[in-house]
Amino acid sequence: MRTLVEAGGLTDGFVVTLPKVTSVEQVEAFVFALGRVEEACSLEPGTLHFEIQVETPQAILGADGTALVSRMIHAGGGRVTGLHYGTYDYSASLGVAAEYQSLEHPVADHAKAVMQVATAGTGVFVSDGSTNVLPVGDREAVRAAWRLHAGLVRRSLERAIYQGWDMHPAQLPSRYVATYSFSGRGWPARPSGSERTYTEDSPASLTSRRRPRRWPVSCSAASSAARSTRPSLTSWSGWTRTRWPHSRVAVRKPDLRLHKAGAIQGDCTGHFSPSS
C-alpha cells in the first residue's frame, strides 16, 4: 500500500473488496486493519474504502434472524461503498446444482432483494453477479453467450440493479448494447395535441419518471446536448470514458462500431450485429 501511495495510485475511486464475509465482526476487524494501514501510510482517517462481496448465506440471514448485511454496512463506519453479489459461491452454499447456478435463480433474487433493502437510503450501491458463460469459441457460441449475457444485464437493470461484474472483455459489447437500449427508454416520444394524456402522480412517482432521462447521459449513451433527440443504436460508438460505469471491467475507449458479426479482438474492439 505504501508503494501505491508513493506512486500516486491512490485515486478517489480506489476501493478494495472484502470477500466471503460471514459475520459483522469480520467487517469490524477489516475497518480496524484499514485504520492501521492509514496510520502507517500517513493517510487521513477514513481515506480507504471497501466493498463487501456477498457470497455466503450468513451475510443475508444471521442466526438471530436479522439481515446481517445491513449491520455490516453500519459496522463499516462509512467506509463501505458497495455490495457485490457472488453468483456461484452463494448458490453452491445453498446446494444449487452447478448447471442451475445463475443470476436468474430464485435464491439469487432473494439475496439481491435483501441487499437492495439493506442499502436503501445509505448511498451504498448494489452490484449484480457475473455469468461464466463466456462469448468465446465459434460464431454461434459467441452469439449465444452474447444473447444470454445481454438478457441478464437487461434483467438486472429492470430490477433497479445498475452495476454488474463481468468475467471477460468479450462480454462488454453485450453489456453496452443492453445498457444503452435500457437507457434509451429515458427519451420517450413527446406526445402533442390530442395524444397528450394526464395522470395523477405522487412525488415519488414523478422522481422515478425524471430519473430515466438522466441515465443515457450518465452512462455515456448520449451527450447532455442530445436530450431532445432519442439516441439510435447505430450512433453509439467511440465513448470517452475509460471505464464503463455499469461494469467492473476496466477498458480503454472501445470502438464498438456495428459491423458484420465476427470475433472479439484482444483490444476489446467488437464486431456486433444488432440483429443477432
Give which of 133, 130, 137, 170 is closest to 153, Cα–Cα: 130
SS3 of the chain: helix, strand, coil, percent, to 5: 45, 10, 50
Q: Which of 129, 153, 168 is the last residue of a domain?
A: 129
- If asked whether residues 122 and 139 sit together in one domain, one would say no
**Which residues are CB-contacts of 15 (< 8 A; sequence separation ≥ 6)?**
49, 50, 51, 81, 82
- If asked whether residues 94 and 167 sit together in one domain, one would say no
- If asked whether residues 149 and 266 sit together in one domain, one would say yes
Which residue type is seen at 77?
A: G
Q: Which residue has the higher pLDDT, 241 or 160?
A: 160
Domain ranges, residue 81: 1-129
Tens digits of residue pLDDT in 19-29: 999 999 999 99
- If asked whether residues 161 and 229 sit together in one domain, one would say yes
Q: Which residue has the higher pLDDT, 76 or 245?
A: 76
- If asked whether residues 119 and 142 sit together in one domain, one would say no
* Res. 177 pLDDT band, cuts 50 70 90: very high
Work out the average pLDDT over 146-158: 96
- If asked whether residues 227 and 253 sit together in one domain, one would say yes
Per-residue burial over 134-165, b = 16 or more CB atoms within 10 Å of its CB, e = otherwise = bbeeeeeebbebbebbbebbbebbeeebbbbb
Tell me, what CATH number does 72's domain have?
3.20.20.60
Tens digits of residue pLDDT in 38-59: 999 888 999 999 999 999 999 9
Number of structural domains the chain divides into? 2
- If asked whether residues 23 and 76 sit together in one domain, one would say yes
**Which residues are CB-contacts of 22 (< 8 A; sequence separation ≥ 6)?**
56, 58, 59
Cβ atoms of 130 and 89 closer than 8 Å: no
Centroid of chain to Cα 183: 14
* Res. 252 pLDDT band, cuts 50 70 90: very low
Work out the average pLDDT over 138-162: 96
For residue 117, pLDDT beyond 90: yes
Q: Which residue has the higher pLDDT, 252 or 63?
A: 63
- If asked whether residues 52 and 144 sit together in one domain, one would say no
- If asked whether residues 178 and 144 sit together in one domain, one would say yes
Assess if residue 204 is contained within a domain. Answer: no
Tens digits of residue pLDDT in 236-251: 333 333 333 444 443 3
Centroid of chain to Cα 111: 15
Assess if residue 119 is contained within a domain. Answer: yes
Work out the average pLDDT over 7-20: 85
